[in-house]
Amino acid sequence: MAASSNRIMLGPLVAAIDQGTSSTRFLVFNAKTAELLSHHQVEIKQSFPKEGWVEEDPKEILQSVYECMDRTCEKLTQLNIDVSNIKAVGVTNQRETTLVWDKQTGEPLYNAIVWLDLRTQSTVERLINKTPGKNKNHLKDKTGLPISTYFSAVKLRWLMDNVEKVHEAVLSHRAMFGTVDSWLIWCLTGGKNGGVHCTDVTNASRTMLFNIHTMDWDPELCIYFDIPMGILPKVRSSSEIYGLMKSGPLTGVPISGCLGDQSAALVGQMCFKDGQAKNTYGTGCFLLKNVGTKPVMSDHGLLTTVAYKLGRDKPACYALEGSVAIAGAVVRWLKDNLGIIQTSTELEKLAADVGTSYGCYFVPAFSGLYAPYWEPSARGIICGLTQFTNRSHLAFAALEAVCFQTREILDAMNQDSGINLSQLQVDGGMTSNRLLMQLQADILCIPVVKPSMPETTALGAAMAAGAAEGVSVWSLNPEDLTEVTSEKFEPQINPEESELRYARWKKAVQRAMNWETIEPVNSGNGQKLA
């Protein structure tokens, strides 16, 4: 009897699919208390077919979603929680990652090209060179973005130019383009049998094909990149019913929330007011600040992006974003490429053993430098090495690199707004590293505040799904939002030392610049160096 009465007590539940760069998660929340009830996680394989190339298998991504859903539903059943209480599903995803598939067969026509991928560097240089004044911000007024390898349009252009199957499918009107959200929603709502081809405004705003003022695909941008508008998904708000699940344990449940992962974290951190900000530490590092209902352009290398639009008739809100390509990815690199750690948790212990980098600086510009530099020709560099330097110092330098990169984008954010953030709200996988959080407070010279429930990205997607018209099980009214418990890390070193270390970091960044240039360089002895 207790078990069945327990089931009734919980009320409506909302689930979220969180498809990130390195893993997929499925999480189920209580819509009234925002409590996380159960979840499952599966790692995603990344392949690096050539230097600078990063790909993932679209079918593996989809399979991982089904697996996470099935496992989580099994766990809920074991907890005596009725799966039929799940009233809606939200989707949040790694942004910019680009897929093309055949709408008749449902088959992907190539691997997903991941946001970090650099194969489009020559395309980007060609595009910039043909703009007036060779200006990488040529399209910024419409898109809020610089012309960069990071965004989807150049990846899609590469696929159309270099993959015969994609080229043919576009010509025969069988091709569908989408970011990861579009691929998942299309597949989950029926795929080739009536699947819904859509995206939301936050994901669309990362393609370079979307006009952030008209809030729709821009014909001129599509002409600029020579991309037919017929292959693009329909743009919807971040909170509305897109379609119903067509298979699995949640058949018939509406998919009613969709947000790019960084926007979802902003919502999950309840940053609904102009001026509120959060920093997410995942594969990369992303600082977003809500700037309200009018887009604000940055003078200091930040992006202007759509934060969310929580309903068809609701206004869109915008954000300034500082994007760092490599944060958690540096841990994966130390583990998989150098083998100096076996697990991610080992990094914290190694670094804590020495408590200093001993003058060693590590700029992990594996994919060039993103904000605030937007310098695709930069490459990774480790400098300040002596015979004394060991792997513990390198581990410490890797953690410091994440913090210094955050400091750079926070400085840019403060300069753009003229108002300094008094504390930093943080989330994401790396925030479980307490040494990192303390280092971050020390390097920023402001407190760092971490919610005790770290899954804010998934929470944001669940909130958008639960609040959608026709679902309405989650209230986003400020007075109804649950109080978040959190932990605060206060700065513990004097600001002078912090400034000294930061100045050294800036010097290291300059050393990493202009490394990988496309133009051949003459070495002086008649030999050409790439």
Domain residue ranges of the chain, discontinuous segments joined by +: 13-273, 326-454+484-512
Matching CATH topology for 13-273 and 326-454+484-512?
yes
- pLDDT tens track for 459-487: 999 999 999 999 988 988 877 777 777 89
CA atoms within 13 A on the CB side of 25: 23
pLDDT score of 521 more than 90 = no
| Range with top average pLDDT, 7-21, 86-100, 406-420 | 86-100
Mapped onto helix, strand or coil, the DSSP state of residue 448 is strand
> What pLDDT score was predicted for residue 518?
59
DSSP state letter for 366: B
Choose between 419 and 171: higher pLDDT: 171
Arithmetic mean of pLDDT, 371-387 = 90
For residue 210, the cross-strand partners are 217
CB distance 138 to 132 below 8 Å: yes
CB distance 260 to 181 below 8 Å: yes
CA–CA gap between residue 264 and residue 25 (Å, rounded): 14
- Say what the pTM is: 0.88
CA–CA gap between residue 307 and residue 273 (Å, rounded): 11
Beta strands in 180-284 (DSSP E): 198-200, 210-211, 216-217, 234-236, 239-244, 254-260, 277-281
Structure tokens at 213: 């003022």
Q: What are phi and psi of 56, to 5 degrees?
A: -135, 155
- pLDDT tens track for 336-377: 999 988 888 888 888 988 888 888 999 999 988 888 988 888
CA–CA gap between residue 132 and residue 240 (Å, rounded): 41
Q: What is 326-454+484-512's CATH number?
A: 3.30.420.40
- pLDDT tens track for 214-255: 999 999 999 999 999 999 999 999 999 999 999 889 999 999
CA–CA gap between residue 273 and residue 50 (Å, rounded): 43
Q: Would you identify the CATH topology of the domain 13-273?
A: Nucleotidyltransferase; domain 5 (3.30.420)
